Amino acid sequence: MLAMNYRGPFRVRADRNKPDPEILHPRDAVVRVTRSCICGSDLHLYHGLVPDTRVGMTFGHEFTGVVVELGSEITNLKVGDHVLVPFNIACGSCPFCQQELYGNCHESNPEATAVGGIFGYSHTAGGYDGGQAEYVRVPYADIGPTVIPSGMDLDDAALLTDVVPTGYQAAEMGGIQKGDTVVVFGAGPIGLMAARCSWLFGAGRVIIIDHLDYRLEFAKQYAQCEAYNFMKDMDDPVVFIKKTTDYFGADVCIDAVGCEAAGSSLQTITGRKLMLQAGSATALQWAINSVKKGGIVSIVGVYGPTWNLVPIGNVVNKGITIRANQASVKRLLPRLIEHVMAGRLNPKGLITHRVPLEEISDAYHIFSAKRDNCIKPMLIPDSASVAA
Amino acid sequence: MENLADSLLVDKSKTIEGWGVDADPSNNPTYPMKHYTGADHQRLAYERSKQQMPREEVLHSNERPGITRVFGTSSPPSGLSGQLRRYAFRFSEGSSAHWLTLLAADRVNVVEGIFDDLRRGHIPNIFKERGWNAEWRYNRKGVIQKAAVGAVLATAAVTFLILRNRRKKSV
Ligand SMILES: NC(=O)c1ccc[n+]([C@@H]2O[C@H](COP(=O)([O-])OP(=O)(O)OC[C@H]3O[C@@H](n4cnc5c(N)ncnc54)[C@H](O)[C@@H]3O)[C@@H](O)[C@H]2O)c1
Ligand SMILES: [Zn+2]
Ligand SMILES: [Zn+2]
């Protein structure tokens, strides 16, 4: 089959000779992919920052597809069902799944206990080949895959596998109370969705911070929020946020940037060049320093497994609560499907590039280098159009 | 306390004055992400799935007793990078030896990947893999600028070397 093939940092291609996936467990399904996205998380892999990213792996954790084969224990799906597949691989019965912490399953990732299994996300997340391919093996298919409701746009369905739940959970973890001021760092797909969802929780003011003007312009429309450029509109983002909140700070700060943050040479050099820390923690540092005393910092940006330079003393002195996780997609899906069907959320509005799977090298480069005003690229395999 | 599922804990409330009187599930900072599902020892006895049978080597964290019930089968460890990965997995997830060795293995693996391509008679088109087609389409100025800067630097370096050689010869 045609599948993305990782060859090393900044080098990916689509190859035709990858063997089709098989059923390897009675709770598996094999799905023919109809839509597949590239995520900001994939960029951390693409840039070679995630340990145990092996050459030959196929990435991709945001996909929809048609069920073509089912393991013997799957009774809630049938061949031909068109499903959206949450990015978390979750067993449904371990202590964490029982608590609806589907992003923290204990039975899907042998390589690391700190991370649940994720499709196409290195061996540190279980070593699964992902959905940037024509076919993909879906373990625990009785738990994750959700039949796409009739009338739902396929592009919306694809974004319900990660971007929408992650953005929503970022806001939810912020514990936003009516009237709260929320600052979102990062105007990528995740930050945009977090800003949009902050309103759903009753925020009084939503501010988004980035350094890419085209994304900030997009944010003003898409998330109806204030948008500022940390390179142009301010000297020091922390002072800027303090000033704009009567010198108190924001009630809630959301880190939707993660380990490849720009904005501080110390963080960038130690984190991204010398790799003395697990990426640069600039956005998190700003979030901690610009939140109000007693405020909440919600982290969905991804960091590496080693360590990062963050002002933990300020967390103590300001009495900050930090909440963070991989999104628990399955827990949130029922509510989010309602929001999308009711038109309250417009996920597909984020997609700026629709690219054939064959041209994956270009798609990665465009998204990584932020060319052509890219917000969110989507890959469409040839085989998707045959019967979809 | 009546809704406490765990008999052991109920017993504690009999022996420890005031045990749990202020328990308030909604005062859980993880709420609503986490639901109370009984005491720890109850949660650990859960129904496990059948075991997926490994066909190839699967490394597992030494912070767990063995592999998980399912696992991915992409790119099993092989070659020198595989040996490094095996070594890395002797160390826990909390140690830098684990992660830095894995990163080193990843870099070795890239070189192995190029040899692997060649062995299969495929010469990797690294420009294409890096998405330079798109770069040329969307950032032509940048590409030309980079090429120009590269050319200037290369010319300067060559000129410097030639001049130095001449000076050496004339000494
Ligand atoms: N927790 C989860 O479940 C989950 C799921 C999906 C993605 N993520 C993570 O969320 C993060 C964002 O994903 P994305 O798809 O939006 O990626 P993206 O790369 O498109 O967006 C990141 C944005 O942050 C901006 N940025 C860089 N430095 C900044 C700074 N110091 N302050 C403010 N903005 C800054 C960049 O310009 C960019 O626009 C990534 O780290 C990704 O791995 C987490
Ligand atoms: Zn994603
Ligand atoms: Zn589980």
Atom 19 of ligand 1, residue of closest alpha carbon: A40
Same domain, residue pair B95 and B132 = no
Lookup: tokens for B48: 């496990």
Residue B164 lies in a domain: yes
Q: Among A13, A95, A139, select the one facing B129 at the smallest CB separation.
A: A13
Residue B117 lies in a domain: yes
Q: What is the DSSP letter of B26?
A: G
Report residue A65 CA to chain centroid gap: 19
A301 lines ligand 1 (CB under 6 A): yes
Question: What superfamily would CATH give domain A166-324?
Answer: NAD(P)-binding Rossmann-like Domain (3.40.50.720)
Q: Which of residues 98-137 of B touch A (CB under 8 A)?
A: 99-100, 102-103, 105-107, 109-110, 112-114, 116-117, 124-126, 128-135, 137
ipTM: 0.92
A375 lines ligand 1 (CB under 6 A): no
Spell A245-273 as b/e; 16+ CB within 10 A means b: beeebbbbbbbbbbbbbbbbeebbebbbe
Residue B90 lies in a domain: yes
User: Among the CATH numbers 3.40.1010.10, 3.90.180.10, 3.40.50.720, 3.30.1360.20, which is that of A3-162+328-385?
Assistant: 3.90.180.10
Q: How confident is the model at residue B165 (pLDDT cuts 50, 70, 90)?
A: confident
Same domain, residue pair B136 and B96 = no
Q: Give the pLDDT confidence score for residue B6 in this predicted structure.
A: 55
A189 lines ligand 1 (CB under 6 A): yes
Distance from the Cα of A333 to chain B's closest Cα (Å) equals 13
Report d(CA A345, CA A85) in Å as an integer: 19
How many domains does one find in chain B?
2
Q: Among A238-242, B38-42, B128-132, whose mean pLDDT is lowest?
A: B38-42
Report residue A139 CA to chain centroid gap: 20
Searching chain A, which residue's CA lies closest to the CA of residue B61? A111
User: Residues spanned by CATH 3.90.180.10 within chain A?
Assistant: 3-162+328-385
Report residue A136 CA to chain centroid gap: 19
Instruction: Convert the pLDDT of each residue in B44-100 to its tens digit.
Output: 788 899 999 999 999 999 999 999 999 999 999 999 999 999 999 999 999 999 999
Q: What is the DSSP letter of A50?
A: S
Residue B95 lies in a domain: yes
Residue B106 has pLDDT above 50, yes or no: yes
Distance from the Cα of B52 to chain A's closest Cα (Å) equals 5
* Chain B positions in Cβ-Cβ contact with residue A140 (cut-off 8 Å): 49, 70
Q: Cβ contact (<8 Å) for B35 and A100?
A: yes
Residue B15 lies in a domain: no
Q: Is the Cα torsion angle A300, A302, A305, A307 positive or negative in sign?
A: negative
Searching chain A, which residue's CA lies closest to the CA of residue B120? A17
Report d(CA B26, CA B7) in Å as an integer: 22
Residue B85 lies in a domain: yes
* Chain B positions in Cβ-Cβ contact with residue A331 (cut-off 8 Å): 33
For residue B134, give every residue at least 6 positions away whose Cβ sits within 8 Å of its Cβ, in sequence order, or none: A361, A362, A363, A365, A366, A371, A372
CB contact at 8 A, A291 and A318: yes
Same domain, residue pair B114 and B135 = no
Q: What is the DSSP string of A83-99?
A: EEE-SEE--S-SHHHHT
- The values of phi and psi at residue B76, to 5°, are -60, 155
Q: Give the pLDDT confidence score for residue B1 in this predicted structure.
A: 37
Distance from the Cα of A25 to chain B's closest Cα (Å) equals 5
- The values of phi and psi at residue A64, to 5°, are -115, 160
Atom nearest to A327 CA in ligand 1: 3
* Chain A positions in Cβ-Cβ contact with residue B100 (cut-off 8 Å): 51
CB contact at 8 A, A331 and A102: yes
Q: Cβ contact (<8 Å) for B29 and A8?
A: no
Range of the domain at B118: 76-124
Residue B82 lies in a domain: yes
Average pLDDT per consecutive 10 residues, chain A (388 residues; last block may be shorter): 98 97 98 98 96 98 98 98 98 94 97 97 98 98 98 97 98 94 98 97 96 98 97 97 97 97 95 91 98 97 93 97 96 97 96 97 98 98 71
Q: What is the DSSP string of B53-122?
A: PPSS-----TTSSS--SS---SS---HHHHHHHHHHTTS-TT-HHHHHHHHHHHHHHHHHHHHHHHHTT-
Within a 10 A sphere around the Cβ of B119, how many other Cβ atoms? Answer: 8
Searching chain B, which residue's CA lies closest to the CA of residue A114? B93
Which of A89, A117, A19, A29 lies closest to A65, judged by CA?
Answer: A29
Which of A258, A242, A233, A231 lies closest to A181, judged by CA?
Answer: A242
* Chain B positions in Cβ-Cβ contact with residue A298 (cut-off 8 Å): none
pTM: 0.94
Report d(CA A323, CA A300) in Å as an integer: 9
Atom 21 of ligand 1, residue of closest alpha carbon: A188
Atom 20 of ligand 1, residue of closest alpha carbon: A188
Q: Look up tokens 């640069």; give the residue.
A: A280
Cite the beta strand spans of A222-288 per DSSP E: 226-229, 250-255
User: Residues spanned by CATH 3.40.50.720 within chain A?
Assistant: 166-324
Cα–ligand 3 centroid distance for B68 (angstroms) = 10
Residue B11 lies in a domain: no
* Chain B positions in Cβ-Cβ contact with residue A18 (cut-off 8 Å): none
Cα–ligand 1 centroid distance for A376 (angstroms) = 12
Q: Cβ contact (<8 Å) for A93 and B46?
A: yes
Lookup: tokens for A279: 């990426």
